[in-house]
Structure 1
Amino acid sequence: MATINQRTPADGRTRYWVKWRLGGTRSGAPQSEPFDTHADAHTFKLHVEAAGHHWPENWIRRQGWAQGWVPGHGWAKSDEDDEPEDEPVLFADFARELIDSMTGIEERTRADYHRELELHLIPHFGQVNLRDVTQLKPKDVRAWVNRLRTGTPDPTASYRTPNPSRGRRKEPGWLRKPLSPKFIHNLHGLLFSICAAAVREDPPVRPSNPAARTRLPRADNEADTEMCFLTREEFTLLRDSMHPDVRDMVEVFVRTGMRYSELTALQVRDVTFTPAIDPDGHQQVRGHLDVRRAWKRGPNNTFEVRTED
């Protein structure tokens, strides 16, 4: 909960400070904002609490509300502005052009962004006019995240497996299955990047990013998963139980940490043998591998060998 503290500095002028912690938690960073009157401080306190103990939208610290912004109503239109309104910027068009123009990413990544955009973002935000701040608000982003988390049941199919075998639960039929917290984080990151690009446009397409400060589902089960490491004896037992044709490959995996895509792309010229003498004076041969290339998935879902960056 936000609080109001009264202070009287050396000049004798009474001021009122609204104080709170970000997110309303004890670990949140402390925040404060001064006011000349108790009424103004109380009004701001209510806005802070309504924003979930974050800074209210379009509030400029130590200055007040952004020019033209009316809390609870949105941006006020100027009567003296007779120029025609800007052309709408549809989310679908802006997002597709943005992904096409991204630099520093592989074509496979670009294709993945387009697929996630078409499957999960455009069905919900495709026809939104990014210039109209009333069409895409933080609450709309929160509703979208909740829909991804809970999924969309199929009303025509009460259960996908009406008579499950022993030990299995009844699984409902879905129009859209619930997504994992990690995947929701990825999709929200894509939405955040698109809205942030709209804010950075020159001139800006919209004044703020509605995807900022969205509380996302926690991936508790993923974070609590511990890594499992084999002892030398356990690995030896595992290797010796495998087919002889794959034992050498498994040995290289364990000793080098190479990926499967890198190991299968090795060529004879990538292997170097160097004579060496061990501490007992015996001659040995040591091998050295140079990882120069790997199998990469292309935009059309095919694989090809490419040089490692």
Structure 2
Amino acid sequence: MATINQRKLADGRIRYWVKWRLGGTRTGAPQSEPFDTHADAHTFRLHVEAAGHQWPENWIRRQGWAPGWVPGHGWVKTDADDEPEAEPVLFADYARDLVDSMTGIAERTRADYHRDLDIHLIPRFGKVNLRDPAQLTPKDVRTWINHLRTGVPDPTAPHRTSTPGRGRKKEPGWLRKPLSPKSIHNLHGLLFTVCEAAVREDPPLRPSNPASRTRLPRVDDGEGDHDMCFLTREEFTLLRDSMAEDVRDMVEVFVRTGMRYSELTALQVRDITLTSAIGPDGQPLTLGHLDVRRAWKRCPDNTFRLGAPKTRSSRRRIPLSPRTIDLLRPRLEGKGPEEFVFTTDRGSW
């Protein structure tokens, strides 16, 4: 049987110890549990004996009964059980709000993100509760990537053209065409950003990012892409001479400087510097350079505004060859510093 022993502590308090052997036999392993009051010790001793001299069910050593467990009654509801479940956070709502609150991006980029959400991500993940890891798993992300890569054929239109011209293959009809590896990388990056933001919330909405470590199609696999084509001088001359006269000089400056089209058409008179000098042969010559300071940016409403070039390194100085200077000089005459170098016949950029 179990016994109760008492000990006097150094501070004068009395400690009560319930002692017994497992199974109630002499060879059973000795067990003990301390209590501050004799009443508690007596009650525990009765439970030990009722359990066949084993540890009572749901008793935690040195702590007491497990929270929510009442001997003789079983489990009862605790305050934690009464706490309401956290409100679900739908992917569609969270993703749209995240894009709206992003900093450091152009408004056109924000509009592109919303477009990609509406077309590719929300139809697939819009109703997912981000709080539930089981609703968006790495396997779900991989399945989505494969779906983007293979496309959705149109069963009612197996071929886009029933009688293709000579040398043309029959093209399949699509409800949604397969996307290029580059497009898939961009869409996966947006999904990753949304899920990573959910992980970094305080407190976190998710324990981990299901879009991390996803193996994506190689961008340089060559499928559906064409090699770059560089024109020879003769080919470019043929192309330039086939254009309208009022744009031939602009196209040649375009080629000679290597500027982006959005930079070339944003070029202003003040960006070009021409200086006179004396050449090695003693003859006067003109030196010059242009500074790339701005470019046209497309706005969400498809209008354009002047802004910084595409990247930080795009702000650059380009030396001008004599032929390029000859092409630019007539475009500078009679214009103010902030007027555009290349304009239409009506004076627009």
Alignment TM class, shorter chain as reference: 0.5 to 0.7
The whole-number CA distance in structure 1 between the counterparts of 2:193 and 2:303 is 28
| Matching of residue 126 in structure 1 with residue 129 in structure 2 | no
Could you tell me which amino acid in structure 1 is paired with residue 253 of structure 2?
Answer: V
The whole-number CA distance in structure 2 between the counterparts of 1:134 and 1:218 is 28
SS in 2 for 1:189: helix
Structure 2: gaps spanning 5 or more residues: 1-77, 313-349
Q: Which moved more, 1:276-285 or 1:230-239?
A: 230-239
State the match for 2:149 in structure 1: 149
Could you tell me which amino acid in structure 2 is paired with residue 217 of structure 1?
Answer: P
State the match for 2:136 in structure 1: 136
Structure-2 change in CA distance of 1:233 and 1:153 (3 Å): closer
The whole-number CA distance in structure 1 between the counterparts of 2:79 and 2:142 is 36
State the match for 1:270 in structure 2: 271
The whole-number CA distance in structure 2 between the counterparts of 1:136 and 1:261 is 41
Contact kept, 8 Å, 2:145 with 2:184, in 1: the verdict is yes
State the match for 1:302 in structure 2: 303
SS in 1 for 2:306: strand
The whole-number CA distance in structure 1 between the counterparts of 2:277 and 2:224 is 44
Tell me by how many angstroms 1:273 deviates. 1.4
| Matching of residue 254 in structure 1 with residue 266 in structure 2 | no
Could you tell me which amino acid in structure 2 is paired with residue 93 of structure 1?
Answer: D
The whole-number CA distance in structure 2 between the counterparts of 1:165 and 1:223 is 20
The whole-number CA distance in structure 2 between the counterparts of 1:108 and 1:242 is 31
SS in 2 for 1:286: strand
Structure-2 change in CA distance of 1:152 and 1:164 (3 Å): same
Contact kept, 8 Å, 2:180 with 2:224, in 1: the verdict is no
The whole-number CA distance in structure 2 between the counterparts of 1:136 and 1:248 is 55
Q: Which moved more, 1:169-178 or 1:110-119?
A: 169-178
Determine which structure has more spread, i.e. the larger CA radius of gyration: 2
Could you tell me which amino acid in structure 2 is paired with residue 279 of structure 1?
Answer: P
Tell me by how many angstroms 1:80 deviates. 8.6
| Matching of residue 192 in structure 1 with residue 230 in structure 2 | no
The whole-number CA distance in structure 2 between the counterparts of 1:213 and 1:242 is 49
Structure-2 change in CA distance of 1:258 and 1:138 (3 Å): same
State the match for 1:176 in structure 2: 176
The whole-number CA distance in structure 2 between the counterparts of 1:100 and 1:205 is 19
Tell me the TM-score normalised to structure 2 length: 0.60
State the match for 1:280 in structure 2: 281
Tell me by how many angstroms 1:85 deviates. 1.6
Structure-2 change in CA distance of 1:153 and 1:242 (3 Å): closer
Tell me by how many angstroms 1:216 deviates. 1.2
Structure-2 change in CA distance of 1:90 and 1:263 (3 Å): same
Could you tell me which amino acid in structure 1 is paired with residue 88 of structure 2?
Answer: P
Contact kept, 8 Å, 2:138 with 2:210, in 1: the verdict is yes
Q: Which moved more, 1:296-305 or 1:241-250?
A: 241-250
The whole-number CA distance in structure 2 between the counterparts of 1:80 and 1:186 is 46
Tell me by how many angstroms 1:271 deviates. 2.2
SS in 2 for 1:290: strand
State the match for 2:161 in structure 1: 161
CA RMSD of aligned residues (A): 2.5
The whole-number CA distance in structure 2 between the counterparts of 1:197 and 1:257 is 39
Could you tell me which amino acid in structure 2 is paired with residue 157 of structure 1?
Answer: A
- Give a deviation string over 1:215-255, Cα, whole Å, max 9, x none: 11223117996545556676566555655433322332233
State the match for 1:212 in structure 2: 212
Structure-2 change in CA distance of 1:156 and 1:237 (3 Å): closer
SS in 2 for 1:221: coil
Structure-2 change in CA distance of 1:223 and 1:273 (3 Å): farther
Tell me by how many angstroms 1:265 deviates. 1.7
The whole-number CA distance in structure 2 between the counterparts of 1:182 and 1:110 is 19
Tell me the TM-score normalised to structure 1 length: 0.68
Q: How many pairs are equivalent?
A: 231
Structure-2 change in CA distance of 1:263 and 1:161 (3 Å): same
Structure-2 change in CA distance of 1:268 and 1:143 (3 Å): same
SS in 2 for 1:191: helix
The whole-number CA distance in structure 1 between the counterparts of 2:168 and 2:229 is 27
Structure-2 change in CA distance of 1:300 and 1:242 (3 Å): closer
Could you tell me which amino acid in structure 1 is paired with residue 264 of structure 2?
Answer: L
State the match for 2:222 in structure 1: 221
Structure-2 change in CA distance of 1:223 and 1:144 (3 Å): closer
Could you tell me which amino acid in structure 2 is paired with residue 258 of structure 1?
Answer: M
Structure-2 change in CA distance of 1:225 and 1:296 (3 Å): same
Percent of aligned positions that are identical: 76
Structure-2 change in CA distance of 1:230 and 1:279 (3 Å): farther
The whole-number CA distance in structure 2 between the counterparts of 1:168 and 1:280 is 60
Contact kept, 8 Å, 2:263 with 2:292, in 1: the verdict is yes
The whole-number CA distance in structure 2 between the counterparts of 1:124 and 1:96 is 14
Structure-2 change in CA distance of 1:146 and 1:294 (3 Å): same
Tell me by how many angstroms 1:146 deviates. 0.8
Tell me by how many angstroms 1:109 deviates. 0.3
SS in 2 for 1:185: helix
